[in-house]
Structure 1
Amino acid sequence: MSSTATASNNFIRTIIEEDLKAGNNDGKVVTRFPPEPNGYLHIGHAKSICLNFGLADEFGGECNLRFDDTNPSKEDQEFVDAIKEDVQWLGFTWAGEVKYASSYFGQFYAWAQHLINAGKAYVCDLSPEEASEYRGWATQPGKNSPYRDRSAEENLDLLERMKNGEFDEGTRVLRAKVDMASPNMNLRDPILYRIRKEHHHQTGNDWCIYPSYDFAHGQEDAIEGVTHSICTLEFQDHRPLYEWFLENLPVPSQPKQYEFGRLNINYTVTSKRKLKQLVDEEVVSGWNDPRMPTVSGMRRRGYSADALRNFCNGLAVAKTDGTVDIAQLEFEVRNDLNDNAARAMCVLDPIKVVITNMPEDKVEVLSMANHPNKEEMGSRDVPFTREIYIDRADFSEDTTLGRKKFKRLVFEDYVRLRGAYVIRADEAIKDEAGNIIEIRASLVEGTLGVNPPPEMKPRGVIHWVSASHGKPLEVRVYDRLFTHEAPDKGDENFLDHVNSESLSTITGCWIEPAAAACAPETRFQFEREGYFVSDRYDHSADTPVFNKTIGLRDGNK
């Protein structure tokens, strides 16, 4: 597994190195990856996973997988399961058991009582609208809630009754007593608990009040002994509150929060809310649609875990946000597939070729290497028969086409079939409308792996599939989901930039039998067509389905 970004472009690595030299944290490094289970992981999460797990691995530490499941209205067990699967698929193993914020709900409640007894928290009856008005603006200080000076006894009683379900949602919250005049809006008496009478995927109906993320975050880190709590940049303004809780609660450790710039990619959205909208409005088929920037979507499209890790580990870990060109990701995907994808032949737009000087019942089994540069990848058997399919674009009736301009099959000229013989086109069979429906050709004997005489020199090499032994398949070709470089910037609706041609399905294609029989998630380079993967869910030997991952060269597809 490749390491995280080099020291020169990863300031967090430098911090850890300095902490270890100074003997801080007893020489331990404990990180965590803390997703909220309200959607599938996307490429931005992949960067965070590689960073947190990678640093822990590099320095002999541990990384926890922890679900910040404090909002049951948006969370689901489906997301929990998908996140665990994605982390494992990316090649990482978390320390110990999976952890949940909900496992600490009892401790959070006790700490809320501690703050009340210390005069640093109170139950507030302001409506959401009133609370917003009291909070003020960025340029105007807020004002204290009229309920801020309730006694500890009254607050403890009200909190207990909130927990017991006596009050309706939205009628009361527990707030920290910090500073309503602070220029940092996060310190203006933030909410610690709110009433949510909803079923929780881990705790069931045990609770009807739930802690806010800000209240849970630092305390989870402290309970777990996290030494370096790594967040994206939007949490920078929350750090003073993170530290306030740690200073005012009897927590078992003192973690430190560090923020780095989140990953943005052009022609992509990574807002979980917008990704959910794409799913809910059926713009895509689901969270794992191959056009989605989710880990499961990219996996289904044929991206490998190695390619994603190489991409993420090559990015700078900086203190500013930035946008990465999607071509950088595509380069890593293509580079990985070029090295590791087996070769196969698939004809996407077939036209039949009948080799007239070959017996009808003859089947010659040819051996072809699975990779031109890797003997260790072995070979496969490819049946060669009298009737084959070639791509329609690989034939022309125009005998005036020069060899440099058209390196394919032309009447009364020669072409080599990949891994097989040289053939010559002799005749075209047409339907009543004048469309070519079949090509008659002749095979040049003795040309299997041997160059023909100069007068029979082939124009080029084309791929093919046996018509009698090949298998029909469905091919799904994907383009970028958005036509705009920055689809979610500006005042326009990001859905206005959805590419209506981001998916095209091709049927009537033919593939060699060995490739058709592969397991789901097998990656291939289809000769001269691009890189493809057998679909994770829909592919079988009886009904082959392949997704196009990426083209052979740089481009949109």
Structure 2
Amino acid sequence: MNNDHFMLKLIEEELAEDPFNREMCTRFPPEPNGYLHIGSAYAIHTNYMVAASFGGKFHLRFDDTNPLKEDITYVNAIIEDIKWLGYDPKEHIYYGSDYSDAIYRSAVKLIEDGKAYVCDLSPSEMTDYRGTLTEPGRNSPYRDRTVEECLLLFGEMKAGAYLAAAKVLRARIDMSSPNMNMRDPVLYRIIHAEHYRTGDEWCIYPMYDFAHPIQDAIEGITYSLCSIEFKDHRPLYDWVLHELETPSPPRQREFGRLSLTGVVTSKRFLRQLVEGGHVDGWDDPRLPTLRGLRRRGFTPESIRRFITEIGSIRAQSTVDISLLDHCLRQELKGTTVSVMGVLRPLKVVITNYPEGQMELLTIENNSENPELGSREVPFSRTIYVEQDDFMESPPAGFHRLSPGMEVRLKGAYFIRCEHVIKDAMTGEIVELHVTYDPRTKSGSGFSERKVKGTIHWVSVEHTVSVDVHLYDKLLYSDAPPEENEDWSERLNTESLTILRNAMVEPYIRDVGIEHKFQFFRHGYFCTDSKLSSAERLVFNRIVPLKDTWNKR
């Protein structure tokens, strides 16, 4: 076993001293009230990796005990995203709501054992009674209710006799505990809302800290692997299992929480962005949701590679997002076909090239992977080049096209700029007239002279017009926003640039739309699965070619 990961080392040492009498079993327990994001991927990987390393099982269990926010749409999306990511739980998909009867019986047992009571304090009163980090809490005036009275009241709560927040069931532990989570935490609350699975069968629902250990015990989980913010909740997890006399109880252990520079992964803040109309839904390519990354063009292999590169995280950690981009480039550079796409077209007429003539020129599909072969690209008298590849008065060191300067067209000929045609009204450059040297065709062996610059192009007569979306980071700051903060103050207004009528070679249309490509000098692109159609292709730039992580 490769136990370089701290969690594997920890578990291996614990099992050597105190083994379980059952196989390893871990779980990922998302609440179906939103979509998975890149931080979720790290948690999924950690649970899946531990189970696989010990030859065990991995469960997907939905923590669906709050009907106010949950929906089957999220359930289906989470299942699809986890399978796409490569961590398929197969038949091991479970729902916390299926254990409602067992969890209720557990609560009744705690009441009968004098370990839980029904409390009538309002939420604000409970906060006041709870105390602070430096001051102990105070016992609720309802803490000494008898077992019989609490059983009666809890039964009435279940029967729907009370309004929401009128009563709660609390654990009877220690209001002076230095751990705030142990100061008589709430176990059940009243919620009058229809549940997406159980309908109106229940009007009381368990808190996560109470349901979590019971669900783990029911499923035979051995290790409940949680992110680091649940470390202070571990004593309550153990208390519940101990008081319920759980044989061979599961063990909760914690790993670090993953954050990325330039993105917000909080589900609450992501929801504000979506519901506020600041982005194009949960699958907006600028969001760190798995849906957004997938639509942008990230591959599951690149995300798994990124998580593996990060390795062990013991505490809250922020990773530079350029590492994620680097892992994606490493994944794409040897597998994508390199094509010519002109994003901001400038028309060029080759005045000495025969009118009406077209020839097919051979271009390598990928210079780093000869196995991808080559293709033929049509060449004609009129072509498009990038506007940025021409300067009328270039500075020193500019090696592209300018008046009197010669460059190579990629895979084609040398051309020289002879005339610049401008709009008479605006003075804007609208067309270049150039000449070509037929002796300089690529592969002809001509070596009389050299040129320093090579630019890409597409034939006007054979081009395909597409829309291109270029992305930058969505937020100026990745710090959690203040309460009621105006999102518009931190949104990058240039996070999305839309280029209409970019021109690409016909190969892109001919191979279909479910492909990824490298556009020469521009980066890696894919078709937008939401906006593209057979009639009009929309391309998202997945990532530019520049690799800032490699430079570091």
TM-score (norm 2): 0.93
Task: Supply the distance in 2 between the matched residues of 1:518 and 1:32 (Cα, whole angstroms).
Answer: 41
1:7 and 2:12 correspond: no
Gaps of 5+ in 1: none
- Contact in 1 for aligned 2:333/2:368 (Cα 8 Å): no
Shift of 1:543: 0.7
1:369 aligned partner: 364
Task: Supply the distance in 2 between the matched residues of 1:123 and 1:520 (Cα, whole angstroms).
Answer: 60
Task: Supply the distance in 2 between the matched residues of 1:315 and 1:386 (Cα, whole angstroms).
Answer: 51
1:358 and 2:353 correspond: yes
1:107 and 2:81 correspond: no
Q: Measured at CA, do residues 246 and 23 of structure 1 come closer, stay the same or move farther in structure 2, by a change above 3 Å?
A: closer
- Contact in 2 for aligned 1:487/1:497 (Cα 8 Å): no
How many residues align? The count is 547
* SS state at 1:25 partner: coil
1:417 and 2:417 correspond: no
- Contact in 1 for aligned 2:303/2:327 (Cα 8 Å): yes
* SS state at 1:24 partner: coil
Equivalent of 1:16, from 6, 11, 14? 11
1:539 aligned partner: 532
* SS state at 2:236 partner: helix
Gaps of 5+ in 2: none
1:92 and 2:84 correspond: no
C-alpha distance after superposition, 1:236-258 (max 9, x if no partner): 11000000010011446410000
Shift of 1:517: 4.7
Shift of 1:487: 2.8
1:178 and 2:148 correspond: no
CA RMSD of aligned residues (A): 2.3
C-alpha distance after superposition, 1:5-49 (max 9, x if no partner): x634x2211023224545712362211111111211111111111
1:471 aligned partner: 464
Worse overlay, 212-221 or 269-278: 269-278
Task: Supply the distance in 2 between the matched residues of 1:277 and 1:448 (Cα, whole angstroms).
Answer: 56
AA aligned to 1:312 is I
Task: Supply the distance in 2 between the matched residues of 1:418 and 1:441 (Cα, whole angstroms).
Answer: 16
AA aligned to 1:273 is R
Q: Measured at CA, do residues 416 and 452 of structure 1 come closer, stay the same or move farther in structure 2, by a change above 3 Å?
A: farther
Task: Supply the distance in 2 between the matched residues of 1:517 and 1:75 (Cα, whole angstroms).
Answer: 43
Equivalent of 1:290, from 270, 285, 292? 285
Task: Supply the distance in 1 between the matched residues of 2:204 and 2:506 (Cα, whole angstroms).
Answer: 58
Share of identical aligned residues, percent? 46
Q: Measured at CA, do residues 157 and 490 of structure 1 come closer, stay the same or move farther in structure 2, by a change above 3 Å?
A: closer
* SS state at 1:82 partner: helix
Task: Supply the distance in 1 between the matched residues of 2:217 and 2:524 (Cα, whole angstroms).
Answer: 46
Q: Measured at CA, do residues 95 and 20 of structure 1 come closer, stay the same or move farther in structure 2, by a change above 3 Å?
A: farther
Shift of 1:520: 4.7
AA aligned to 2:545 is L
Shift of 1:94: 0.7
1:510 aligned partner: 503
C-alpha distance after superposition, 1:341-392 (max 9, x if no partner): 2211110110111223334433323342221122332433422222211111
AA aligned to 2:494 is E
Task: Supply the distance in 1 between the matched residues of 2:198 and 2:252 (Cα, whole angstroms).
Answer: 28
Worse overlay, 280-289 or 424-433: 424-433
- Contact in 1 for aligned 2:341/2:504 (Cα 8 Å): yes
Shift of 1:441: 2.5
Task: Supply the distance in 1 between the matched residues of 2:399 and 2:445 (Cα, whole angstroms).
Answer: 16
AA aligned to 1:188 is R
Q: Measured at CA, do residues 492 and 336 of structure 1 come closer, stay the same or move farther in structure 2, by a change above 3 Å?
A: farther
2:423 aligned partner: 431
1:488 and 2:480 correspond: yes
Shift of 1:451: 5.0
1:309 aligned partner: 304
AA aligned to 2:75 is V
Task: Supply the distance in 2 between the matched residues of 1:159 and 1:126 (Cα, whole angstroms).
Answer: 15
- Contact in 2 for aligned 1:40/1:83 (Cα 8 Å): yes
Task: Supply the distance in 2 between the matched residues of 1:95 and 1:19 (Cα, whole angstroms).
Answer: 28
- Contact in 2 for aligned 1:358/1:386 (Cα 8 Å): yes
Task: Supply the distance in 1 between the matched residues of 2:287 and 2:511 (Cα, whole angstroms).
Answer: 25
Structural mapping, 1:140-219, within 5 Å: 140-219=135-214
- Contact in 2 for aligned 1:518/1:541 (Cα 8 Å): no
C-alpha distance after superposition, 1:297-332 (max 9, x if no partner): 122222221111111112242432222222222222
2:112 aligned partner: 117
Task: Supply the distance in 1 between the matched residues of 2:7 and 2:316 (Cα, whole angstroms).
Answer: 15
Shift of 1:508: 2.3
Task: Supply the distance in 1 between the matched residues of 2:122 and 2:114 (Cα, whole angstroms).
Answer: 22
Task: Supply the distance in 2 between the matched residues of 1:85 and 1:517 (Cα, whole angstroms).
Answer: 29
Shift of 1:555: 5.5
1:445 and 2:438 correspond: yes
* SS state at 2:161 partner: coil
Task: Supply the distance in 2 between the matched residues of 1:343 and 1:19 (Cα, whole angstroms).
Answer: 51
C-alpha distance after superposition, 1:374-422 (max 9, x if no partner): 2332433422222211111212344x866xx222223344322222233
